């Protein structure tokens, strides 16, 4: 490969890779992996490890397809927002046809992998999640209602359900508890971001809560949701999925989230909103990591 062709190939790869929203996908696959591990008593066998690998790759591909499709739909909105103006579709570096073909290819390959290497239930649940995010949330809910992230959060909460279905072949109550935790985590997480990005959302025309109901109301909703989230995060212990180790981590992490939300409610600043958003990512990651560790040591 010539020295001129190599940079062009690397540039194209980076552009298509950016369409998949890799940082978001990493968290999705991690949460799905937790669902897989919790569905298997003890250490997975080599055969089960093969299913885990196939499921993680399949979910990554379909989630990446949904992210790429989202980039097509929102390219004009993305171009108006500092947070997303760099995306290849927003900058016009990749056209709709290229992106749609890329999205369809990822979805087809990922769905086929899930169907044949994992099980049909996981494939259909993952495809339904694709439709929920890429079509119902992006096309219908997001531009119509300030409750978009609450209702649309159901799609984002599906990864542990997909992971559980991949290994157990069903959707048990444990998977639904994990779903509920992410479902209730999503609004305070996303509204913290929307608070310090409010001008971007105002310019885009999207009816995000800080735009439609104001800063103070949104801060109150963030605080109230952290209390509801605390109750949901206690359910794995109450149901018997985990031991005292997880309970201790859940209490500490939720106390930290509530404290950030309390500070945000009492004395707002963009810096504090940013810190609350970042802590929410730490909260979910460590919470699920605690579930994983507890599963093997308890």
User: What CATH number is associated with residue 64?
Assistant: 1.10.357.140
* pLDDT number for residue 49: 95
* pLDDT number for residue 238: 97
Say yes or no: 78 and 101 in one domain: yes
Say yes or no: 133 and 180 in one domain: no
The 3-state secondary structure of the chain reads CCCCHHHHHHHHHHHHHHHCCHHHHHHHHHHHHHHHHHHCCCCCCHHHHHHHHHHHHHHHHHHHHHHHHHHHHCHHHHCCCCCCCCCHHHHCCCCHHHHHHHHHHHHHHHHHHHHHHHCHHHHHHHHHHHHHHHHHHHHHHCCCCCCHHHHHHHHHCCHHHHHHHHHHCCCCHHHHHHHHHHHHHHHHHHHHHHHHCHHHHHHHCCCCHHHHCCHHHHHHHHHHHHHHHHHHHCHHHHHCCCCHHHHHHHHHHHHHHHHHHHHHHHCCCHHHHHHHHHHHHHHHHHHHHHHHHHHHHC
Instruction: Give the pLDDT band of residue 149 (cuts 50, 70, 90).
Output: confident
* pLDDT number for residue 87: 84
Say yes or no: 13 and 156 in one domain: yes
- Please say if the pLDDT value at position 31 is more than 60: yes
Say yes or no: 20 and 162 in one domain: yes
Say yes or no: 38 and 80 in one domain: yes
Domain with 294 in it: 172-298
Residue 14, domain member (yes or no): yes
Q: What is the pLDDT of residues 76-87, one digit of tens each?
A: 887 888 777 778
* Count of structural domains, the chain: 2
Say yes or no: 278 and 296 in one domain: yes
Say yes or no: 151 and 209 in one domain: no
Say yes or no: 164 and 177 in one domain: no
Say yes or no: 160 and 178 in one domain: no
- What pTM was estimated for this model as a whole? 0.92
Say yes or no: 132 and 253 in one domain: no
Which of 136, 170, 204 is where one domain is finished? 170
Say yes or no: 176 and 162 in one domain: no
Q: What is the pLDDT of residues 91-140, one digit of tens each?
A: 888 888 999 999 999 999 999 999 999 999 999 999 999 998 888 888 78
Residue 1, domain member (yes or no): no
């Amino acid at each position: 490969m010539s020295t001129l062709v190599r940079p062009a190939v690397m540039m194209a790869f980076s552009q298509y890779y950016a369409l998949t929203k890799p940082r978001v996908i990493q968290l999705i696959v991690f949460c799905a992996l937790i669902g897989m591990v919790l569905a298997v008593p003890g250490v997975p066998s080599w055969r089960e490890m093969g299913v885990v690998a196939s499921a993680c790759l399949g979910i990554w591909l379909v989630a990446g397809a949904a992210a790429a499709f989202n980039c097509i739909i929102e390219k004009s909105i993305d171009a108006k927002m500092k947070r997303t103006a760099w995306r290849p579709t927003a900058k016009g570096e990749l056209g709709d046809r290229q992106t749609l073909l890329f999205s369809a290819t990822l979805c087809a390959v990922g769905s086929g992998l899930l169907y044949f290497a994992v099980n049909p239930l996981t494939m259909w649940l993952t495809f339904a999640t694709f439709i929920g995010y890429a079509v119902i949330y992006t096309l219908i809910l997001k531009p119509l209602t300030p409750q978009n992230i609450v209702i649309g959060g159901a799609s984002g909460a599906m990864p542990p359900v997909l992971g559980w279905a991949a290994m157990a072949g069903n959707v048990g109550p444990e998977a639904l508890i994990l779903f509920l935790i992410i479902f209730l985590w999503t609004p305070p997480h996303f509204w913290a971001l929307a608070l310090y990005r409010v001008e971007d959302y105002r310019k885009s025309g999207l009816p995000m809560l800080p735009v439609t109901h104001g800063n103070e109301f949104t801060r109150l909703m963030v605080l109230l949701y952290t209390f509801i989230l605390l109750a949901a995060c206690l359910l794995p212990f109450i149901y018997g999925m985990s031991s005292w180790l997880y309970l201790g981590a859940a209490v500490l992490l939720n106390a930290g989230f509530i404290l950030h939300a309390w500070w945000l409610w009492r004395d707002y600043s963009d810096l504090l909103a940013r810190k609350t958003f970042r802590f929410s990512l730490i909260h979910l990651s460590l919470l699920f990591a605690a579930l994983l560790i507890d599963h093997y040591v308890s």
